[in-house]
A and B are shown apart, each in its own frame.
Chain A
């Protein structure tokens, strides 16, 4: 059985990595606009990479920045190792989405074993097109070559643009037209070959192996085998990484949220594309900013330097999601809300973003389950609500196993789908629930508990003074004594009473109820009814729960039954 390998090669990788990280350069940067990358120590910047348009314009590797600047139509960018690293990781993610058997040959080159993929994608050409499409989705333009030999695939990908399919047995013929420069060998060897007049692989393959070995040693034999397309080697498999990180270094520090959102959105797009390629979703996003030292804090920074602390200030934020998601727009909204609530104290120089991957959520619920809020939309809504009312005032109440009054805690609200719970019809529910459960009296809690003056007779409450009103106790139940946590600072000891109080004045909370309602929003029949009721209810009664706090030595209203 003939094995098939595909090589994915990114031409001008350094340039493509920078363009991927800075879409403002445009996709046309690779094709039309001349772009040169410079690197090195500040005064000695020199060109390390350029796109074909720049070479055509006359740019050469090693030129200084000043020399390049004389070309008016060549754009100069700094080489970014961080973006190269991110582009390489993205390339690996893209090819892992096609085959699990991948070799990480070089930053710009990866090899895939195509065994078993025909059933999934079809013929070799279709696999190659799919690879090119997936790599394009992460912002890189790839050359793809398929061959029965790993080395042949590599050289074909490096030498031929687009997609190249080399059938078994035609390796030597197809590679023959390529220049010897595609071979990975030392520059001295290439110089020797050039002096011999050997320019193509065909010419190299025609040289006798024995004589080549005498002149170039084992390297000569290796090059001959490569040129003839007969050199075999095994695939060195790479382990799939679970770390998804992107970073961006900014030329000018960003201070405002709007431009920062634009940059974060770009990084999130890249992360989500990588995760999509691996069929994963985001469970948490961690962002870290390197902040520019502010002028006002120069003295403080100086002092910190003297203490040996790092002078780079950092800002970190962790966005944890209740359900894994992969929508970059939603993630950006959540990050924006977090940053609005707690903005960085200084302009941002560098952005690191890491995604914690998880299996994507199952979107399909049961057919008979009621529709719930969309988790992604709900998360954004909860974030907005948290900004509005405060994080601690939002969520899901969870009861605490304690006798202490008001013993509950707020937890994060998460919609849990109940796959196996079948929804019953409404009518059936009405009867079932109505018969199973009587209507429970609700208690409206006053937070914080309101102080009240209570008159006692024979240790029983007979009169209550609250908010300047006097109420006679009509009926009472109590005291219900409870205490606990006496070994802690927040001990509690209370005597609770349920009281039916008749106030001679207006009611405590619903004082406005006894005022005439606005006629404009009621028709005549309604207003007559209200008036009649108001006349009948001369004295307002209410059911309250009050307690005597033995530690604070006072009476308080816990709430009212409503």
Chain B
């Protein structure tokens, strides 16, 4: 009798919520995300990729490789035919670098903001519009004390807005600020810069060399992603020897960002 009344109650609730909630009693794992590649194998091996329908924070100091990671991710998304948006809080995006990194500039909506208020409002509008493969918010050059003043409910709203959508919300900052609203927080740190050696005949001019790039150390500060086992088993070297020794720490990887002329 009790079982039948429970079933009746359940069916009544399901009937009342029909059209608004698909399956109210089905367990939904909020940490199960579709992961897509960042375009950097080492990063994919470390974090599994960028989660769709979630917020990812990439933080680090100046010259730590945040922009390189951003360009790589945007290049991959736009190459897949997805429409992406870049909210540039301090108007620092370089289209030439983006083009060199492989971004299809025609599929990238670039919003050049002047301050963080504009950036947050623009982000809100873009997320609400929907349909973007990635919405990247570049707050790298905004002082930390300014970003810290952003109320937590703003990040919470962003998280809820991208939830259950195919949009990747990527934040670039100096320090993580979204707290538990971010499903993945990665810290980047600049490694050693790589320069080509000056040729022997250029004694007269010892600076005749080229910047080849620099290494980037990545740490996972926080991750709520459930990484598939097959992704964890990816060989990060892929036949090429990294120039810096890999740290023993399992939560740390190194990748290299190269300049276009180093090829």
Chain A residues engaging chain B, CB cutoff 8 angstroms:
369-374, 377-378, 380-382, 384-385, 388-389, 393-399, 407-408, 410, 413, 415-416, 418, 421, 423-424, 426, 429-430, 433-435, 437-447, 460, 475-478, 498, 500, 507-515, 517-518, 521-523, 526, 529, 533, 540-543, 559-562
Contacts and interface: CB of A to CB of B under 8 A. Distances in A.
Contact of A370 (B39, B82, B208, B258): B82
29 contacts: A371-B131, A378-B131, A384-B125, A393-B113, A396-B110, A397-B95, A398-B105, A399-B95, A426-B34, A426-B36, A434-B41, A437-B102, A438-B256, A440-B260, A442-B65, A442-B101, A444-B141, A477-B208, A507-B61, A508-B62, A510-B60, A510-B63, A512-B144, A515-B144, A521-B175, A522-B176, A542-B62, A543-B211, A543-B214
Interface in B126-174: 126, 128-133, 140-141, 143-145, 148, 166, 174
B63 A423 contact: no
A434 B176 CA distance: 27
A43 to B, nearest CB: 55
B61 A439 contact: no
Interface of B: 34, 36-37, 39-41, 44, 49, 60-72, 75-76, 79-83, 91-102, 105-114, 118, 121-122, 125-126, 128-133, 140-141, 143-145, 148, 166, 174-177, 179, 189-190, 193, 195, 207-211, 213-214, 219, 221-222, 238, 255-260, 263
A369 B179 CA distance: 34
Contacts of A508: 62
A440 B37 contact: no
Given A389-B113, A440-B72, A441-B258, 15 more contacts: A369-B81, A381-B126, A388-B122, A389-B118, A396-B110, A430-B37, A430-B49, A433-B37, A438-B258, A446-B92, A475-B195, A521-B176, A542-B190, A543-B193, A562-B64
Contacts of A477: 195, 207-211
A418 B81 contact: yes
Nearest to A417: B81
Given A434-B39, A507-B62, A562-B63, A395 B81 contact: no
B80 A424 contact: yes
Contacts of A407: 96
Contact of B62 (A396, A426, A434, A560): A560
A378 B76 CA distance: 22
A543 B112 CA distance: 24
Contacts of B76: 429, 433
Contact of A518 (B114, B143, B148): B148
Contacts of B100: 440
Contacts of B175: 512-513, 517-518, 521
A460 B207 contact: yes
A439 B112 contact: no
Nearest to A405: B96
Please list the 7 inter-chain residue pairs (A to B) with the smallest Cβ-Cβ separation, ordered nearest first.
A442-B67, A373-B131, A513-B61, A510-B62, A512-B144, A510-B61, A397-B95
B81 A423 contact: yes
A329 to B, nearest CB: 15
Nearest to B180: A521
B37 A389 contact: no
A511 B211 CA distance: 24
B124 to A, nearest CB: 10
A540 B63 CA distance: 10
Contacts, number: 262
A440 B68 contact: yes
A377 B129 contact: yes
A389 B112 contact: yes
A529 B217 CA distance: 13
Q: Which of A369, A394, A438, A476 has the most CB of B within 10 A?
A: A438
Contacts of B128: 381
Nearest to B88: A393
A80 to B, nearest CB: 40
A435 B141 CA distance: 31
Contacts of A399: 95-96, 99, 105
Contacts of A447: 91-92
A76 to B, nearest CB: 47
A439 B36 contact: no
Contacts of B207: 460, 476-478
Contacts of B64: 510, 562
A429 B80 contact: yes
B189 A533 contact: yes
A373 to B, nearest CB: 3
Contacts of A413: 109
Contacts of B80: 370, 423-424, 429
A100 to B, nearest CB: 38
Given A433-B76, A442-B97, A562-B65, A512 B145 contact: yes
A561 B102 contact: no
A394 B36 CA distance: 27
A484 to B, nearest CB: 16
A444 B118 contact: no
Nearest to A460: B207
Contacts of B145: 512
Nearest to B179: A521
Contacts of B143: 511-512
Contacts of B213: 441
Contact of B68 (A410, A442, A517): A442
Contacts of A369: 81
A385 B71 CA distance: 23
B259 A373 contact: no
Nearest to A392: B112
A438 B42 CA distance: 11
A398 B96 CA distance: 9
A507 B112 CA distance: 24
Contacts of B62: 507-510, 513, 542, 560, 562
Given A517-B175, A562-B68, A435 B238 contact: yes
B144 to A, nearest CB: 4
A399 B97 CA distance: 11
